[in-house]
């Protein structure tokens, strides 16, 4: 390995322009690599949004869009808790006890209901470390869920359309005159 | 004779203060374990404890005076004093620690880059640095408090007056359309104290227990001559 | 360089880049299978009321549970014992629940006893093994050693033992207050007297470390807080007399250093002085003058000067203390281990009771009173509940434990059950518990962790943690009111585990020795049905399910406390007759070459050692010495200087019964002729945190009695101390400079 490192010197271009160009390519390439590998979940320069495959192909477009079911009917904890939560299988069973029972998806669901095991969904929206978000306070202010989560009711498969960078949160907080004390969100 | 709020505006709704009655503290140490359980404070182990790198946010200092058999003892629970004029705040190059509007000295883990200047400056030695990733061996990690971050190596940490409980108290009060009442919020140390030596509350509320205790003759703050203006008041013990 | 090498390097760099981003693995979101009720915030969690079982005080706790995990233990503010407080050990209960070394499967011994070769077996195998051996144990050839006599599993096993034709039941908790029962019963005062410190104006603790261990550290801690600041017009004073400045003594306003074994004489000296003051100030008018004269005559020899010679407390201090007690009524005197654990222990306890009765009379004369009286109907109720959940009274005595081990050593025992106890570790080595267990044909142990006793067991049954269990407890320390604690699971147990009490019930019924109880949960329900009518507070109109929920929500049942002013002489008590008013000089084990007094004691974080495997408690500095992660030998600074001993020097401490080695700790709170060694360390086998850490003070103790009702005189043992020449790092939190020289941070 040691000899290889020394040999890197022989790779450098001879001319000054060549050297600057090589440096530029290295820097840009490095930044791109870093961004793609570290932020691979986000939409970067037209690359696709992170839309993981879920155990059941649940379509928000069908339920929230066409059927116009309220977000909080399923995501019940949003109005009373920090987390919005994901519905338990008993919520699905409210309708699907008798609806569309022949489909593969519902058969799989029924199996889990029998066994009382929850469905393990792939997480889409995730905040960075040390950040705590309180859904209840935002619901009480009657913000639309779409404000942060994007047009969910148009999504067949939920995709992460928002990276939740701090700037996004702060813009709204400053506009709405919400607390901007760091400890409000970072405990 | 309400203590002069150095930084916190006088008309601010809340200014949190802690009052510790040294006449009641019997040194049992329940508060230290309670704090550790509540705030996901790591255990460092024997080797690091020998290097004085124990992570506990709250310690009980024990002072002797005199000689056998005329020997006296004082127990002094010591945690971050949430100084109004904190020496740790101006020295952070990235503003990871600052004074929040309610009188607390906030520590933001995301921002901290680990220069340790703040810990150096603290006259009470209450700041602890995560030298390593201590980790919580499974299944001990099941006990971790979901309201509090688990810190990794490279950041400073310290007592936050159980900020997560303050936040929840304010959240509940807001739901009910009122301000936080005295007794709504109690940090982990005070809740577990068998002798009720620790009282917590809003200093700006004249009816609160802390406001009344702060006005008594026994009140005392540590290293007051350094001008740090702590938010922790001690009630002197002894007859 | 050629292309191949370039690609190799490039590949390494790229790979490193990818590795760095590995933390961004997508997580799963798993909802509840059965959602919680409407209105509940699942992130905040909810609280379950139960009782703490880390010691046998029976504090009521509320446990915060988030997503099926126990997160934090808090006190139940309505509980009469702890009033919302929780001690350090109680807080560590969650660490015990989620400990990586928790035993989850039954184990069977393979190889000789003592080698610790255990293999896992199924529950069926374990239960059938136990059942077989239960069946084969003939009359009087079985025994049980339980760590705590107040809980349901102990009560169930006591019944099974009875069916097996034996009454060899012993409770092993040596910190238990049962040792006072025998000593005080003859004076007619209530068993295990309750000392009302909260309402007292002056409290004299005679070697009573009530904030650290014993009956209920949390309750007495609460009472202490009340005494100091609970009353707007007075602040109670605390006095402590004893041979060592303990954590409890550290809170005293005045500390009196008293020579070992002379606290009973000290009490009589104070009493004598009080009688003098009473004569001068014309007090004690309501007592027959002849009685008072009789006492004066009986204890007249205990003048301040005489007392000073016996106890080493200066005469003027004795006088001053007596004056303080008379001037600050109600005054209470609490006797502790330094009174009881001596050869003159029984006489000394009686002397203290005498002093207390005089002080009660003085207080009643002034219309002040502080001792709560247990109303008759509550006494009856307590007795009735104790029949359901309780063990024979004699089981709680040290003589029972000695007797059981002694019997086992003869080889006559065919079945032994060790229930949440560690007798191989927590009894003096001189009792030879390990040897005794090797001679028992079949030993079953119920425990949460493999420990020193597991090395000698044939089958080890894992019990559920108390946070996962159904159980109940009738608290043995009335505090003025009977307390019934319900213990309910706050989290689900791991699959494949089972409550040991239920397993034993199954084994018993398989052996034809059934006691008619289906399982522990049913037994708690039965108690509700039985006692519901007597438990005011559970409304009569509730149906069974509602009443059950009301009981669980409360956490048990207890009567409302009210302190009544009482007559000076508590009902049924006889005045101590004057011919009993003498306390002999103490005797000590060890001849002239044993130059030091030994003071073995329990620390607030280690207790009797059943929690030594918890890292929170190991890392927590012991309040007075501030040592963590290891044990020590305390030695007076002047003595240390004279011997050339510094902190960390390994010392060998040798008693007539055994020896230990531990690092020295220079401690200003003991006398020049005393060394102190804490209990709770020195396990031979107890997990990563506790094994081979420190020294076991029990190795220094032996059976040194007598004439004091069979109580072990553990504070009457003398030792020799020698330097071994080696050193060990001793971990202390305290700044050495701040220890003796005071500090600028705080002015006393």
Tens digit of pLDDT for each residue in C403-432? 999 999 999 999 999 999 999 999 988 889
Kindly report the nearest CA distance between residue C734 and chain B, in angstroms.
Answer: 7
Q: B237 near B23, Cβ under 8 Å?
A: yes
Name the residue among A136, A181, A186 with its Cβ closest to that of B110: A186
- Torsion A14-A18-A21-A25 (CA) sign: negative
Percent of chain C with pLDDT over 70: 86
Name the residue among B67, B75, B192 with its Cβ closest to that of C86: B192
B171/A134 Cβ within 8 A: yes
Mean pLDDT computed over C252-280: 94
Burial class (CB in 10 A: 0-12, 13-18, 19+), C648: middle
Per-residue CA distances from C617 to B73, C87, C97, C183 (Å): 23, 11, 14, 33
Structure-token match 């990276």, residue found: A163
**Is residue B109 situated within a structural domain?**
yes
Binding-face residues of A in 79-98 toward C, CB within 8 A: 80-83, 85-91
Kindly report the nearest CA distance between residue B96 and chain C, in angstroms.
Answer: 23
Q: Is C589 helix (H, G, I), strand (E, B) or coil?
A: strand
A118/C32 Cβ within 8 A: yes
Counts for chain C of helices (H) and strands (E), in that order: 25, 24
Residue-wise pLDDT for C506-547, tens only, equals 999 999 998 989 999 999 999 999 898 888 778 888 888 999
B27/C235 Cβ within 8 A: no
Determine which of A41-45, C285-289, C315-319, C449-453 has the lowest per-residue pLDDT on average: A41-45
Q: Quick one: pLDDT at residue A84?
A: 86
**Is residue B130 situated within a structural domain?**
yes
Q: Is C471's pLDDT higher than 90?
A: yes
In this complex, is the C-beta atom of A132 within 8 Å of any C-beta atom belonging to chain B? yes
Residue among C476, C515, C509 nearest C159 (CA):
C515
Residue-wise pLDDT for C582-633, tens only, equals 899 999 998 889 999 999 999 999 998 999 999 999 999 999 999 999 999 9
Mean pLDDT computed over A148-160: 89
ipTM of the complex: 0.95
Per-residue CA distances from C234 to C238, C239, C255, C329 (Å): 13, 16, 21, 11
- In the beta sheet, which residues pair with residue B220? B234
Kind of pairing, strands C142-146 and C415-419? parallel
Mutate to test the interface with B, among C228, C239, C244, C641 (most CBs of B within 10 A): C228
In this complex, is the C-beta atom of B231 within 8 Å of any C-beta atom belonging to chain A? no
**Partners of residue A186 in chain B, C-beta under 8 Å:** 108-110, 149
Residue-wise pLDDT for B154-190, tens only, equals 999 999 999 999 999 999 999 999 999 999 999 999 9
**Partners of residue C42 in chain A, C-beta under 8 Å:** 77, 81, 83, 85
**Is residue B94 situated within a structural domain?**
yes
Name the residue among A34, A76, A126 with its Cβ closest to that of C27: A126
Collect all residues with Cβ–Cβ distance below 8 Å to C423 and sequence separation of at least 6.
C145, C172, C401, C405, C433, C437, C453
B195/C85 Cβ within 8 A: yes
Kindly report the nearest CA distance between residue A69 and chain B, in angstroms.
Answer: 26
In this complex, is the C-beta atom of A134 within 8 Å of any C-beta atom belonging to chain B? yes
A137/B147 Cβ within 8 A: no
Q: Quick one: pLDDT at residue C561?
A: 57
B28/C211 Cβ within 8 A: yes
Residue-wise pLDDT for B23-71, tens only, equals 999 999 999 999 999 999 999 999 999 998 999 999 999 988 888 999 8
Q: Is C747's pLDDT higher than 80?
A: no
Kind of pairing, strands B16-21 and B232-235? parallel
pLDDT band at A126 (very low <50, low <70, confident <90, very high): confident
Q: Is A99's pLDDT higher than 90?
A: no
Residue-wise pLDDT for C701-724, tens only, equals 987 764 444 567 889 999 999 999
pLDDT band at B1 (very low <50, low <70, confident <90, very high): very low
Q: Quick one: pLDDT at residue C319?
A: 96
**Is residue B210 situated within a structural domain?**
yes
Collect all residues with Cβ–Cβ distance below 8 Å to A110 and sequence separation of at least 6.
A96, A101
In this complex, is the C-beta atom of A129 within 8 Å of any C-beta atom belonging to chain B? yes
Residue-wise pLDDT for B182-216, tens only, equals 999 999 999 999 999 999 999 999 999 999 999 99
Higher-pLDDT residue of C392 and C319 is: C319
DSSP string spanning chain A? -HHHHHHHGGGS-SSHHHHHHHHHHHHHHHHHHHHHHHTTTS--TTPPPB-PPPSS---HIIIIIIS---HHHHSGGGGTSS------HHHHHHHHTTSSTTSHHHHHHHHHHHHTPPP-EEP---PPTT----HHHHHHTT--THHHH--GGG-SS--B-----HHHHHHHHHHHT----GGGT--
Q: What is the mean pLDDT of chain C?
A: 86
B148/A184 Cβ within 8 A: no
Residue among C512, C477, C433, C353 nearest C696 (CA):
C433
Higher-pLDDT residue of B239 and A93 is: A93
Residue-wise pLDDT for C294-352, tens only, equals 888 889 999 999 999 999 999 999 999 999 999 999 999 999 989 988 888 888 888 88
In this complex, is the C-beta atom of B131 within 8 Å of any C-beta atom belonging to chain A? no
In this complex, is the C-beta atom of B138 within 8 Å of any C-beta atom belonging to chain C? yes
B101/A183 Cβ within 8 A: no
Domain that holds residue B193: 16-235
Q: Whole-angstrom Cα distance, residue B198 to residue B182?
A: 14
Q: Which chains touch A (3 or more CB pairs under 8 A)?
A: B, C
In this complex, is the C-beta atom of C14 within 8 Å of any C-beta atom belonging to chain A? yes
Name the residue among B111, B148, B171 with its Cβ closest to that of A187: B148
A183/B104 Cβ within 8 A: yes
Which phi and psi angles does C636 have, rounded to 5°? Answer: -65, 145
Q: Quick one: pLDDT at residue C682?
A: 95
Q: Quick one: pLDDT at residue C455?
A: 95
Mutate to test the interface with A, among B9, B12, B149 (most CBs of A within 10 A): B149
In this complex, is the C-beta atom of A136 within 8 Å of any C-beta atom belonging to chain B? yes
* Distance from chain centroid for Cα A177: 26
pLDDT band at C434 (very low <50, low <70, confident <90, very high): very high
In this complex, is the C-beta atom of B9 within 8 Å of any C-beta atom belonging to chain A? no
Q: Which chains touch C (3 or more CB pairs under 8 A)?
A: A, B
Residue among A106, A80, A82 nearest A92 (CA):
A106
Q: Whole-angstrom Cα distance, residue C373 to residue C366?
A: 18
Give the nearest chain C residue to B222 (CA atoms).
C745
Name the residue among C24, C32, C43 with its Cβ closest to that of A88: C32
Give the nearest chain C residue to A31 (CA atoms).
C17
Q: Quick one: pLDDT at residue C160?
A: 94
How many CB atoms neighbour CB B43 within 10 A? 23
pLDDT band at C381 (very low <50, low <70, confident <90, very high): confident
Q: Whole-angstrom Cα distance, residue C463 to residue C450?
A: 11
How many CB atoms neighbour CB C78 within 10 A? 13
Q: Whole-angstrom Cα distance, residue B9 to residue B18?
A: 18
Q: B125 near B17, Cβ under 8 Å?
A: no
pLDDT band at B107 (very low <50, low <70, confident <90, very high): very high
Kindly report the nearest CA distance between residue C552 and chain B, in angstroms.
Answer: 22
Domain CATH number, residue B169: 3.30.70.20
Residue among C465, C529, C330, C605 nearest C53 (CA):
C465
Residue-wise pLDDT for C169-219, tens only, equals 998 876 445 556 655 555 554 456 678 888 899 999 999 999 998 888 999
Q: How far does chain C reach from its first CA to its final CA, in angstroms? A: 75
Mutate to test the interface with A, among B40, B102, B106 (most CBs of A within 10 A): B106
Mean pLDDT computed over A157-183: 89
Mean pLDDT computed over A141-163: 89
A116/C28 Cβ within 8 A: no
**Is residue B10 situated within a structural domain?**
no
Mean pLDDT computed over C359-381: 75
Q: Quick one: pLDDT at residue C566?
A: 45
In this complex, is the C-beta atom of B5 within 8 Å of any C-beta atom belonging to chain A? no
Global pTM?
Answer: 0.90
In this complex, is the C-beta atom of B72 within 8 Å of any C-beta atom belonging to chain C? yes
| Total domains present in chain B | 1
Q: Is A49's pLDDT higher than 60?
A: yes
Residue-wise pLDDT for C545-559, tens only, equals 999 999 999 999 887
Binding-face residues of B in 77-116 toward C, CB within 8 A: none
Mean pLDDT computed over C455-481: 87
B100/A130 Cβ within 8 A: no
Q: Quick one: pLDDT at residue B87?
A: 94
Q: Quick one: pLDDT at residue A47?
A: 43
Q: Quick one: pLDDT at residue B21?
A: 95
Q: Is B230's pLDDT higher than 80?
A: yes
């Amino acid at each position: 390995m040691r000899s290889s490192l020394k040999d890197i010197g022989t790779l450098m271009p001879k001319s000054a322009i060549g050297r600057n160009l090589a440096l530029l390519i290295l820097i840009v390439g490095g930044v791109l690599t870093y961004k793609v590998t570290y932020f691979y979940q986000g939409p970067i320069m037209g690359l696709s949004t992170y839309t993981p495959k879920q155990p059941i192909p649940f379509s928000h477009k069908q339920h929230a869009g066409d059927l116009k079911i309220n977000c909080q009917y399923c995501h019940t904890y949003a109005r009373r808790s920090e987390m919005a939560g994901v519905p338990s299988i008993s919520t699905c069973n409210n309708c699907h006890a008798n609806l569309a029972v022949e489909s593969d998806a519902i058969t799989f669901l029924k199996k889990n209901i029998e066994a009382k095991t929850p469905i393990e969904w792939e997480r889409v929206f995730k905040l960075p470390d040390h950040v705590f978000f309180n859904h209840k306070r935002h619901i009480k202010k009657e913000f639309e869920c779409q404000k942060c989560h994007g047009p969910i009711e148009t999504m067949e498969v939920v995709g992460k359309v928002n990276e939740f960078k701090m700037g996004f949160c702060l813009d709204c907080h400053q506009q709405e005159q919400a607390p901007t004390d760091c400890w409000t969100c970072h405990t | 004779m309400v203590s002069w709020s150095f930084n916190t505006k006088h008309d601010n709704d809340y200014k949190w203060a802690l009052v510790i009655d040294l006449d009641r503290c019997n040194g049992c140490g329940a508060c230290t374990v309670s704090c550790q359980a509540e705030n996901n404070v790591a255990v460092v182990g024997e080797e690091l404890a020998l290097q004085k790198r124990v992570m506990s946010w709250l310690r009980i200092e024990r002072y002797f005076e005199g000689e056998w058999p005329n020997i006296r003892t004082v127990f002094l629970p010591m945690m971050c004093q949430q100084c109004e004029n904190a020496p740790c705040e101006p020295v952070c190059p990235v503003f990871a620690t600052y004074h929040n509007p309610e009188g607390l000295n906030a520590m933001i883990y995301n921002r901290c880059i680990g220069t340790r200047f703040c810990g150096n400056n603290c006259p009470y030695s209450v700041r602890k640095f995560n030298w390593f990733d201590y980790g919580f061996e499974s299944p001990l990690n099941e006990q971790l408090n979901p309201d509090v971050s688990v810190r990794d190596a490279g950041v400073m940490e310290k007592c936050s007056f159980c900020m997560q409980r303050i936040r929840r108290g304010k959240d509940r009060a807001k739901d009910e359309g009122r301000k936080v009442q005295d007794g709504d919020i109690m940090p982990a140390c005070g809740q577990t104290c068998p002798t009720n030596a620790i009282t917590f509350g809003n200093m700006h509320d004249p009816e609160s227990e802390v406001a009344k205790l702060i006005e008594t003759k026994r009140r005392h703050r540590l290293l007051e001559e350094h001008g740090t203006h702590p938010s922790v008041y001690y009630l002197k013990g002894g007859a | 360089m050629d292309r191949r090498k370039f690609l190799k390097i490039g590949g390494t760099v790229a790979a490193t880049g990818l590795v760095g981003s590995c933390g961004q693995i997508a997580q799963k979101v798993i909802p509840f299978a059965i959602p919680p009720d409407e209105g509940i915030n699942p992130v905040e969690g909810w609280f379950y009321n139960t009782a703490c079982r880390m010691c046998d005080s029976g504090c009521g706790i509320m446990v915060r549970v988030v997503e099926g995990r126990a997160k934090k233990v808090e006190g139940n503010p309505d509980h009469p014992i702890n009033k919302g407080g929780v001690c350090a050990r109680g807080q560590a209960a969650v660490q015990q629940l989620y400990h990586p070394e928790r035993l989850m499967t039954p184990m069977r011994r393979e190889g000789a006893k003592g080698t610790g070769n255990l293999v896992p077996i199924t529950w069926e195998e374990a239960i059938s093994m136990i059942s077989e051996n239960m069946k084969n144990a003939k009359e009087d050839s079985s025994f049980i050693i339980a760590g705590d006599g107040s809980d349901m599993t102990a009560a169930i096993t006591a019944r099974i033992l009875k069916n097996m034709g034996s009454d060899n039941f012993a409770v092993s908790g040596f910190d238990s207050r049962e040792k006072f029962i025998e000593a005080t019963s003859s004076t007619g005062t209530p068993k295990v007297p309750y000392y009302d410190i909260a309402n007292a104006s002056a409290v004299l603790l005679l070697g009573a470390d009530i904030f650290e261990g014993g009956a209920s550290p949390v309750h007495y801690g609460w009472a202490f807080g009340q005494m100091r600041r609970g009353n707007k017009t007075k602040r109670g004073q605390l006095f402590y007399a004893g041979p060592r400045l303990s954590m409890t003594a550290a809170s005293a306003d005045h500390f009196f250093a008293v020579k070992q074994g002379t606290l009973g004489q000290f009490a009589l000296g104070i009493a004598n002085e009080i009688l003098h003051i009473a004569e001068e100030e014309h007090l004690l008018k309501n007592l027959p003058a002849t009685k008072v004269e009789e006492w004066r005559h009986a204890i007249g020899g205990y003048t301040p000067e005489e007392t000073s010679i016996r106890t080493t407390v200066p005469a003027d201090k004795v006088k001053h203390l007596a004056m303080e007690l008379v001037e600050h009524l109600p005054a209470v005197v609490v006797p502790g281990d330094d009174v009881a654990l001596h050869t003159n222990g029984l006489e000394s306890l009686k002397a203290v009771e005498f002093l207390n009765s005089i002080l009660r009379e003085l207080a009643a004369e002034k219309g002040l009173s502080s001792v709560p009286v247990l109303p008759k109907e509550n006494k009856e109720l307590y007795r009735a509940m104790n029949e359901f959940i309780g063990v024979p009274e004699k089981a709680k005595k040290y003589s029972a434990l000695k007797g059981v081990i002694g019997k086992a050593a003869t080889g006559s025992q065919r079945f032994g059950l060790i229930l949440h106890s560690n007798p191989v570790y927590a009894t003096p080595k001189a009792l030879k518990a390990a040897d005794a267990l090797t001679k028992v044909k079949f030993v079953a142990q119920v425990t949460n962790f493999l420990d020193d006793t597991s090395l000698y067991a044939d089958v080890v049954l894992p019990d559920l943690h108390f946070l996962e269990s159904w159980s109940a407890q009738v608290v043995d320390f009335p505090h003025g009111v009977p307390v019934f604690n319900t213990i309910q699971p706050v989290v689900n147990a791991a699959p494949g585990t089972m409550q040991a009490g239920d397993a034993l019930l199954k084994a018993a019924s398989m052996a034809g020795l059934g006691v008619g109880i289906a399982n522990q949960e049913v037994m708690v329900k039965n108690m509700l049905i039985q006692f519901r009518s007597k438990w005011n507070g559970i409304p009569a109109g509730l149906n069974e399910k509602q009443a059950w929920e009301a009981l669980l929500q409360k956490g048990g049942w207890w009567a409302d406390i009210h302190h009544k002013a009482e007559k000076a002489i508590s009902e049924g008590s006889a005045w101590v007759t004057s011919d009993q008013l003498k306390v002999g000089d103490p005797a000590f084990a060890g001849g002239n070459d044993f130059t030091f007094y030994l003071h073995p004691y329990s620390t607030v974080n280690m207790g009797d050692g059943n929690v030594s495997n918890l890292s929170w408690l190991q890392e927590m500095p012991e309040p007075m010495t501030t040592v963590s992660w290891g044990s020590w030998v305390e030695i007076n600074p002047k003595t240390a200087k004279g011997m050339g001993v510094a902190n960390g020097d390994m010392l060998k401490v040798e008693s007539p019964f055994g020896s230990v080695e531990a690092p020295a700790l220079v401690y200003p709170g003991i006398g020049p002729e005393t060394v102190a060694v804490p209990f709770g360390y020195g396990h031979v086998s107890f997990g990563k945190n506790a094994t081979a850490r420190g020294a076991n003070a029990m190795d220094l103790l032996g059976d040194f009695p007598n004439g004091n009702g069979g109580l072990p005189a553990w504070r009457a043992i003398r030792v020799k101390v020698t330097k071994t020449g080696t050193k060990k790092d001793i971990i202390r939190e305290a700044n050495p400079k701040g220890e003796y020289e005071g500090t600028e941070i705080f002015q006393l």
